[in-house]
């Protein structure tokens, strides 16, 4: 059984102007997501500014999310690090708090060989009993999980169940899923690219871990739901309709645009921690136009 099926939101972390976490607004954002049909909450990922949360903040944000969601949908906790010991500790904390699964990014900056990646993720998975979803985002980390490594980890480590694929490389994704099929390995595939939800689903994907879902939760859910219902033409239409907004949400590095977009929808999300800065005017104009054309502003 998949950790979740459909559209999971890589949720932003609202902050006060003094850059402390705004838990009251975070609760409001969680409720909004669930009310609009989001299928899972992914907390403390890239969009949640995990890179600039302290370790204690990271744990407390996960704790708050798990408690506030209260089993309404699955909660997947971002618990990755470029230090294996830290990733193990965060994953154990997430499990103790009550997260349904962890999302574990490839080591960044120091990177790793494929053998190092296998050892890193195995150590994390063996430290917990909840499912582990690998997160492959080479543009961020400079480190790529090759198909053979992903498939062997899902085959050999019982609670490594799948991968969030943000490579943007459909040829690599196809090779990975073909190898999994030939090897008899059940690999849960989630798109990490909002512009490629339907293509990833067509390769056997279970859904998306989405930035777009922050501002268009129902629409992102519907892309997946229509595809799973066999309405592939409608899913494709919805995917293509969302592309201008997706482009605007990535006009600057994530989560700069999406935090501004949420602010335009009435959430208190303008505050963002350095080295990220607020959205530039030309990109804000692009974002507002895209939101208006998409019918959410």
Q: Catalytic residue among 32, 92, 158, 164, which?
A: 164
In whole angstroms, what is the distance from residue 154 CA to residue 254 CA? 29
Handedness of CA 222, 223, 224, 229 (dihedral sign): positive
Rounded CA-CA distance 72/190 in Å is 20
Nearest partner of 121 among 76, 84, 172, 167, judged by Cα: 84
Catalytic site residue 67? Answer: no
Question: What are the helix (H) ranges across the chain?
Answer: 23-35, 55-69, 84-97, 114-127, 138-141, 147-156, 170-183, 197-202, 217-228, 232-249, 256-264, 281-294
Active site residue 135: yes
Q: Which two tokens stand for residue 97?
A: 């708090």
Name the active-site residue from 23, 135, 158, 292.
Answer: 135
Give the active site residues: 135, 164
């Amino acid at each position: 059984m998949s950790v979740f099926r459909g559209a999971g939101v890589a949720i932003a972390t609202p902050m006060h102007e003094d850059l402390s976490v705004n838990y009251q607004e975070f609760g409001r954002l969680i409720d909004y997501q669930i009310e609009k049909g989001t299928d899972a909450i992914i907390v403390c990922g890239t969009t949640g500014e995990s890179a600039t949360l302290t370790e204690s903040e990271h744990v407390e944000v996960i704790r708050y999310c798990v408690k506030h969601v209260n089993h309404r949908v699955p909660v997947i906790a971002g618990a990755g690090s470029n230090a294996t010991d830290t990733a193990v500790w965060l994953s154990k904390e997430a499990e103790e708090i009550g997260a349904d699964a962890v999302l574990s990014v490839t080591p960044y900056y120091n990177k790793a060989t494929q053998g190092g990646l296998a050892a890193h993720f195995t150590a994390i998975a063996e430290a917990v009993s909840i499912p582990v979803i690998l997160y492959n985002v080479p543009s961020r980390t400079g480190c790529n999980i090759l198909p053979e490594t992903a498939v062997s980890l899902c085959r050999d480590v019982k609670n490594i169940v799948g991968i969030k694929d943000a490579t943007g490389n459909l040829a690599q994704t196809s090779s990975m899923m073909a190898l999994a099929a030939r090897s008899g390995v059940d690999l849960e595939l989630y798109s990490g690219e909002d512009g490629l939800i339907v293509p990833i689903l067509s390769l056997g994907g279970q859904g998306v871990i989405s930035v777009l879902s922050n501002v268009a939760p129902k629409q992102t859910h519907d892309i997946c739901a229509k595809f799973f219902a066999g309405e592939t033409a409608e899913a494709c239409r919805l995917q293509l309709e969302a592309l201008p907004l997706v482009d605007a949400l990535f006009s600057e590095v994530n989560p700069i645009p999406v935090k501004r977009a949420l602010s335009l929808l009435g959430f208190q999300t303008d505050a963002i921690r350095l080295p990220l800065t607020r959205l530039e005017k030309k990109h804000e104009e692009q974002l507002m136009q895209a939101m208006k054309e998409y019918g959410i502003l």
